[in-house]
Amino acid sequence: MVKKKAGRKHREKEKPKSLNLGCNRRALKGFINVDLEPFKGVDVVADLEKRWPWEDSSIDFINAVDIVEHLKDKIHLMNEAWRVLKPGGQFKVTVPHEAGHGGSQDPTHVTWWNENSFLYFSVYRNDEDEWVSHDWRKLYAPHSIKAAFEIQLGVTEPSPPRDEPGGNFGGVIYIVALLIKREDPGDCESPEYDRRCSDSHTEQSDE
């Protein structure tokens, strides 16, 4: 029995689909390069503040370098990335840390980030090997936060000064975050968590 070779169209469907968000003039080969402006190399012109133009669970990998700090709504950003990623898909974010000069030096930055910023979208395995939401995610999920990511974080050393024409004073620190799409554990509307929140509010009001 002779097996038919897969057609070109079928092979293209099997290729991983990767987005390069906010590429500006730094388009990457092998990626769908996305920007608000039609720079050279941009494949899709899109406003990331609105619904993203990709179907649910259709993307394998998202690269976002020096872009998320330019977007006003962190929750919309994370929800949309989670929506379009396939289960287990990865969202790599490289963003200036608010503790360094880079967080506030650019006049077009509208959000500020530190390591804790990502925990509101975080799920992790507990001692029983079950996926559970971080307590901060439970404050806003599922009514506002839909995203559920396993999160790995790193922080760079401050950049050195560049003592040359067109240089800078350095001090830029980056967060490099790898976010892996997981299913919503569905643990944010439990009676136990609602009771804990209620007890916490009661204790605070009594003080």
CB-based contacts of 107: which residues, under 8 Å, 6+ apart?
none
Q: Is 194's pLDDT higher than 90?
A: no
Q: Give residue-wise pLDDT tens across range 171-185.
A: 999 999 999 999 999
Entry pTM: 0.85
Q: Give residue-wise pLDDT tens across range 52-99.
A: 999 999 999 999 999 999 999 999 999 999 999 999 999 999 999 999
| Tokens of residue 25, six digits | 């003039």
Q: Give residue-wise pLDDT tens across range 99-128.
A: 999 999 999 999 999 999 999 999 999 999
> For residue 31, what are the CA distances in angstroms to 17, 47, 88, 153?
7, 18, 18, 23
Dist CA 115 CA 109 (whole Å): 17
Q: Give residue-wise pLDDT tens across range 133-164.
A: 999 999 999 999 999 999 999 999 999 998 88
Secondary-structure class of domain 9-206 per CATH: alpha beta
Where exactly are the structural domains of the chain?
Answer: 9-206
Amino acid letter, 124: Y
Position 167 scores a pLDDT of 84
Dist CA 183 CA 24 (whole Å): 32
Q: Rounded mean pLDDT of the chain?
A: 90
Per-residue pLDDT band for 166 (boundaries 50, 70, 90) equals confident
Q: Is 4's pLDDT higher than 90?
A: no
Which candidate, 64, 71, 75, places its Cα nearest to that of 120?
75
Per-residue pLDDT band for 197 (boundaries 50, 70, 90) equals low
Q: In this prediction, what percent of the chain has a pLDDT beyond 70?
A: 85
**CB burial readout 99-124, b (16+ within 10 A) else e:** bbbbbeeeeebebebeeebbbbbbbb
- Pairing of β 123-125 and β 131-133: antiparallel
Position 189 scores a pLDDT of 75
